[in-house]
Amino acid sequence: MEALDKQGALRMVTLFSGAVKGMAFYPSSHPSIRQPLLELDKILAQALCWAPEVSWGIIDGAMFSDGHLFINPPSAIEDLTSRMMEIQIGRIVVSTGLTFEELQKFVKLFSIKVAGFEALAELMRQGGISHIRLVRQGEENFETPDEDQEEQDEPEDGVDYLVTYGQALKAIRGICRDIERGRIPSSAPIIRMVDRMVGITMQEPSILLGLTMIKDYDNYTFNHCVNVGILSMALGASIGLDAMSVKSLGIAGEMHDIGKTMISKKILNKPGKLSSNEYDEMKRHSELGAKIIREMEGFDPHIAQIVLGHHLHFNRNGYPEWAQKLPFNQMVDIVAIADTYDAITTLRVYQHPINPRAALHEMQKLSGTFLDGALVASFIEMMGKYPVGTLVRLDTNEVAVVYRPNPLEEEAPLVRILIEADGTRINVPREQPLIAQDGSRYAQIVAVVDPLLKNINVSKFVVSGNY
């Protein structure tokens, strides 16, 4: 279980911001200050029962709290973001043992206009604040690492990848904001983020798949674009495409729905069936997206072509109709597969999501018409019999989530146990190989479980460090 869910994390950061702002006008004993501080103290105490540290900070100008990124924050958080950037604070880390008095002192110091990072850190030291530490912008750790410590290997699927995912979301958000304001966006942020992902994907296509289970209903467009980029790159790498092609797939995948920025929000968010006119307007997004990309510097021309054709279908009977006879390469069909998979596994205003394994079966039904059958087969092989994010029951009666396919044994993917055999929920998920290195078997999968029936958000458990 994670220390705080997204709503709790948002509440925590909002309370902190409000207390800081209020401290500039009222004494600390005033009810308008003491009440939010007491609530903040309670939230932190509860969170620190589950984790030794709780933190909030800034990634590329956006506020985050541990595994949660706040894409469209309220004004209170925007004010806090500006204040932290002014002092050059990248992250605030609260650790077990924090007292209410320490918290109150820190809020008071933070509300004072100090010269900068070093000045605030010194005031904290003088005030005896030992359970709150500051991380400077651009530094991963506040303390200097031991020079003799051996360089550690990058974690396979840890929080570093969550940060990368958050930065990709930020890049997409910035492009959408520029378009809405009538500007031609810069291609640099997307190219930079995809470059980071390409090397990882080429080494092991499945390594980032867990990130694509991050689903945020309130920011669907942003998450969907990043997820399609990752899935497109993974499929391209798994079928043997070169690094440049995989990079193109990542860029095209992340930009495939950018034209929706130009479509009315009433149409995009309509819960019921679209009218004929509304559907015709919605279908324009691929053309609008291609036009936007052509106007942006730094993208190869074929990126716009992929975006233009991602709804043409494998039989080329899709839209836009005028483009059906144009030449399109395999990349269009790769992005279409990634788009379909992420869409049908995500909660929308007009549909319930289906589990990853069922999604693969639905995609098989579309083979030869909407989707390229050979690529669907490759996609299924890459995802495995039990794709990342599938909730399963073992023959031990334990319930687990798949976080990585096993290329050597599709019946034994890598799982994290969430619920014990007696029904007890585990506070910290336990990674459990179903088959040990010596060939002995721990358990077998006997059924796929509906996460809604168990009230489990699988996205919290597929990425290490996100719980």
Q: What is the per-residue pLDDT for 447?
A: 93
DSSP track, 46-103: HHTTT-SEEEEEEETTEEEETTEE-SS--HHHHHHHHHHHHHTEEEEEEETT--HHHH
Residue 158 has pLDDT above 50, yes or no: no
The pLDDT confidence band at residue 88, using thresholds 50, 70 and 90, is confident
Q: What share of the chain is helix, strand, coil (3-state, %, to 5)?
A: 50, 15, 40
pLDDT computed for residue 67 by the predictor = 66
Q: At residue 162, does pLDDT exceed 80?
A: no
- Beta-strand ranges (E) seen in 116-200 are 132-136
- Give the Cα separation of 420 and 426 in Å (integer): 7
Half-sphere exposure (CA, 13 Å, Cβ side) for 337? 33
pLDDT at 153 exceeding the cut of 50:
no
Q: Which pTM was predicted?
A: 0.66
Give yes or no for residue 341 having a pLDDT over 50.
yes
Please answer whether residues 413 and 405 qualify as being in contact, where contact means their C-beta atoms are separated by less than 8 angstroms: yes
pLDDT of residue 151: 35
Average pLDDT over residues 405-411: 83
Q: How confident is the model at residue 156 (pLDDT cuts 50, 70, 90)?
A: very low
Query: Where do the structural domains in the chain lie, given as residue ranges?
Result: 6-136, 159-383, 391-460
For residue 365, pLDDT over 90 is answered with: yes
Q: What is the pLDDT of residues 3-28, one digit of tens each?
A: 677 788 888 998 998 888 887 777 76
Range of weakest confidence among 37-46, 317-326, 329-338: 37-46
Q: Given a cut of 90, is residue 150 above it in pLDDT?
A: no
**pLDDT computed for residue 351 by the predictor:** 60
Mean pLDDT along residues 66-74: 70
* pLDDT above 50 (res 149): no
Q: How confident is the model at residue 155 (pLDDT cuts 50, 70, 90)?
A: very low
Least confident range from 21-25, 253-257, 382-386: namely 21-25
Rounded Cα distance between 227 and 331, Å, is 16
**What average pLDDT does the chain have?**
84
* DSSP 8-state assignment for residue 185: P
The C-alpha atoms of residue 461 and residue 429 are separated, in whole angstroms, by 8
- pLDDT of 132 above 80: yes
Question: Is the pLDDT score of 174 beyond 80?
Answer: yes
> What is the reported pLDDT for 115?
63
For residues 377-382, give the mean pLDDT.
Answer: 94
Whether 142 has a pLDDT exceeding 50, the answer reads no
Angstrom CA distances, 85 to 105, 137, 168, 375, stand at: 21, 8, 20, 46
Lowest mean pLDDT segment, chosen from 33-37, 290-294, 302-306: 33-37
pLDDT score for 361? 94
**For the domain bounded by 159-383, which CATH number is listed?**
1.10.3210.10
pLDDT for 436 equals: 81
* Banded pLDDT at 211 (limits 50, 70, 90): confident
Model confidence band, residue 144 (pLDDT cutoffs 50, 70, 90): very low
| 1 pLDDT above the threshold of 50 | no
Say whether pLDDT at 89 is over 60.
Answer: yes
In this prediction, residue 349 carries a pLDDT of 52
Residue 298 φ then ψ, to 5° = 105, -10
Average pLDDT over residues 251-266: 93
d(CA 10, CA 69): 9
Question: Per-residue pLDDT for 72 more than 70?
Answer: no
Top-confidence residue, 233 or 119: 233
Backbone angles phi, psi at 116, to 5 degrees: 165, -165
Can you give the pLDDT at residue 73? 66
Q: Using pLDDT thresholds of 50, 70 and 90, give the confidence band for residue 284.
A: very high
**Burial of residue 373 (number of CB atoms within 10 Å: 0-12, 13-18, 19+):** middle
pLDDT for position 152: 37
